[in-house]
Amino acid sequence: MKKSVALALGVGCMVALTALTVSAPMIPGDWARLDTFGKYIPNTIFYDWPPYLGQIGLWLGGMAGLWVGLRQEKTRIIPNIPNRRQLSILMVLVVAIGLGFGLRLHGLGGLPLLIDEIGFAARASDMLHGQHVPIFAPGHNGNPAVYSWMLSGVMEWFGQTRWAMRLPSVVFGTLSIAAVYALGKAWGGRRLGVMAALFTATYPAHVHFSQLALYNIIDPFFAALALVALRRALKGGRQADFVLAGMLGGVAQYFYHGSRLLLVVMGVLTVLAWWQAAAPARRRLVQQAGMMTGVLVLVSLPRFAPQFSAGLPVTGNLDGIRLPADAAANSVRALLAWVGQADVSPFWLSSIPLLPLFALLAWGAGVMWAARQRGDGRWAALLMMLVLTTIFGGMIWAAAPLYVRYMTALPALALLVAAGIQSAGRWRRVQAALLAGVVMQGSLLSLRHPAEAANNLPAGLREADALAQAAARLPTGEAVELVVTSAFGDVERITIADYVAAYGERRAVSIRVK
C-alpha cells in the first residue's frame, strides 16, 4: 500500500510539474521566440509564476515517489573493509580527483565569456533579478532553463563574476572523474576504472570545457551514472537499478541536447542483453526495460512537453535534424577530429588536438581491442556512441567538428582509452609508461591551454567584455550607448545586450562606432 501511494505521488508530482511548465502564459510568441538574428532571446518578462522552491519541491517529490514506489529490493548497506590493493586504488582515485580539480581551477576566470556562455549567464541574471520562469521550459537556445537556474543560485552566493558563472561546470567536471571511475569499475573492474578516471582528470578538452559556463559538461556526468546503473541492472537484474537507470537517463535530458544519443546507447545495450539472455529471462527483462523506459519518460516529461507545446523541435538548438550540403565531406571532417582535425568552434581557441599523442595511442589501441570483443556487445555500443556523437553531435548533422559536442561521448572515450592502456597488460612497463604519458601530457597541455586560448580570442571580444562590465555598473534601468571600434564584430553586436545583463541587469543597449 505504501509503495502504491508513493508511486501515485511520484507520477502526480511529475504530471503536475509538466502541467505548470506547459500552461499559459508560456506561449511560443512570448517565451519561446526567435529574434531578427534567428537566435533565441526571450524578453524580460515578469510572470506571476509559482516560486522556484515550489517547482523544485514538485520535482523532488516526483523523483522520491518514483524511487520508493518502484524499487522492490530494500537497500542494504554492508560495510566493506577495503584490503591493501583496494586502498591503493582508492588513494590513486583521490589523487586523480584532486589533480583534476586543481587543473580545472587554473585560469578559471581568465577568458571573457564566449557566445553561449553569455546567453546562459544572461538568463541566470534575469532569474536572479526577479524574472519568474518555469525551470524546465525552453531557455537559452531552446534548451531547458535548468542550467541557467543553477547559475542564478551560484551567482546569488558569489556574485555576477566569470568565476562564479563557471563554478558549476568545475564542480560537475570534477565529479565526472568519480563517475567515470564508477563506470569503469562496473564495466571491467577497479583497474579499468582508475585508469579511466586518471584520463578524465587530465583530459585537456574535458578540463577546458569544465572551465566554461556551458551545459555540455553536465550531461556526460549523468550519462556515466546512467550507464553504471544500467550495467548493474542488466548484470544483476535488480529492479532498483533499472529504476535508477531510467531516472538518471531522464535527468541527463535536462541539459545538452546531445544527451538524446545516450538513450540510443541505453536501448542498444538493453537489446543486446535481451538477445544474449536465456528464453525464461527475456520476459522479465522486457518488463524491467519497459519500467525503466516509463520512469525515463516521466522524469524527462517536464523537459520535453514544453518543446512540443511551444512548437520547438525535440532535437534542441531550435533546428531539426538536417543533412548539410557537403554531407560526405562533413562526416569525414567529423571523424577526423579524433585524429587531429582542428576544431571549428569559437570555444576551443587552441591548436591542441582533441586527443593528444599519448591519449591518441591509448585510444587507438582501445578501439582495436574493443573491435575484437565480438562476444561482448558492450564494447560495440561504446564504439557506436563515438560514431553517433561524432557525426550527429548535438543531434544536428552540420558544422563539424565541434569539440564541445564531443564531450557527450566522454564515458565511451574514457573507457576506450583505459581499455587501450590495459590491453598492454602483458608488458607492465609499457602499460605504466603509456598511462604516465597520458597523465603528464594531459596535465601540461591543460595548464598551457588558458594562455593559448587567450591569445586566440576574437578581436572584439575583450572590448565587449570591458564595455559590458562598465555598463552593468550603471544605475538600474538606465539605457546605455556603447561607443565601439571597428573590431566590434557581428557576434559582439548580437550578444552585447545579453553580455550587459550577465554582469548586471537587463537594460536597453545601443551601439555607435567611433
pLDDT in tens, 55-98: 889 999 999 988 888 877 665 555 666 666 777 888 888 999 99
Rounded (to 5) percent helix, strand, coil in the chain: 65, 5, 30
Q: Half-sphere exposure (CA, 13 Å, Cβ side) for 490?
A: 2
Residue 34 and residue 311 in contact, taking contact as beta carbons nearer than 8 Å: no
Torsion over CA: 406, 222, 154, 146 (sign): positive
Residue 509, φ and ψ in degrees, nearest 5 = -130, 130
457: which residues sit within 8 A by CB, 6+ positions away? Answer: 111, 112, 349
Residue ranges for the chain with pLDDT beneath 70: 1, 23-50, 73-84, 139-142, 310, 314-325, 393-399, 425-426
130: which residues sit within 8 A by CB, 6+ positions away? Answer: 46
**Residue 480, helix vs strand vs coil:** strand
* Short-list 453, 473, 471, CA closest to 463: 471
Grid coordinates standing for 377?
556487445
The reported pLDDT for the residue numbered 316 is 59
In angstroms, the CA 347 to CA 403 distance is 8
103: which residues sit within 8 A by CB, 6+ positions away? Answer: 201, 202, 207, 443, 446, 447
In angstroms, the CA 99 to CA 492 distance is 35
The reported pLDDT for the residue numbered 317 is 60
In angstroms, the CA 366 to CA 418 distance is 7
Instruction: Burial-class residue 486 by CB neighbours within 10 Å (0-12, 13-18, 19+).
Output: exposed
According to DSSP, the residues that pair with 480 across neighbouring strands are: 509
User: Quick count: other Cβ atoms within 10 Å of Cβ 88?
Assistant: 13
In angstroms, the CA 312 to CA 353 distance is 35
Q: What burial letters (b/e) apply to 353-383, b meaning 16+ CB within 10 Å?
A: bbbbebbbbbbbbbbebbeeeeeebbbbbbb
The reported pLDDT for the residue numbered 297 is 94
Residue with cell 576551443: 348
Q: What burial letters (b/e) apply to 333-342, b meaning 16+ CB within 10 Å?
A: bbbebbeebe
The reported pLDDT for the residue numbered 437 is 94
Q: Half-sphere exposure (CA, 13 Å, Cβ side) for 55?
A: 20
pLDDT tens digit string along 329-344?
778 888 888 888 888 8
The reported pLDDT for the residue numbered 77 is 56
In angstroms, the CA 484 to CA 481 distance is 9
**Residue 483, helix vs strand vs coil:** strand
Q: Which amino acid is at 234?
A: L
The reported pLDDT for the residue numbered 321 is 63
pLDDT tens digit string along 470-491?
888 888 877 788 888 888 887 8
The reported pLDDT for the residue numbered 246 is 95
The reported pLDDT for the residue numbered 318 is 60
User: Quick count: other Cβ atoms within 10 Å of Cβ 167?
Assistant: 23
Grid coordinates standing for 464?
565587449
Q: Where are the domains of the chain?
A: 461-513
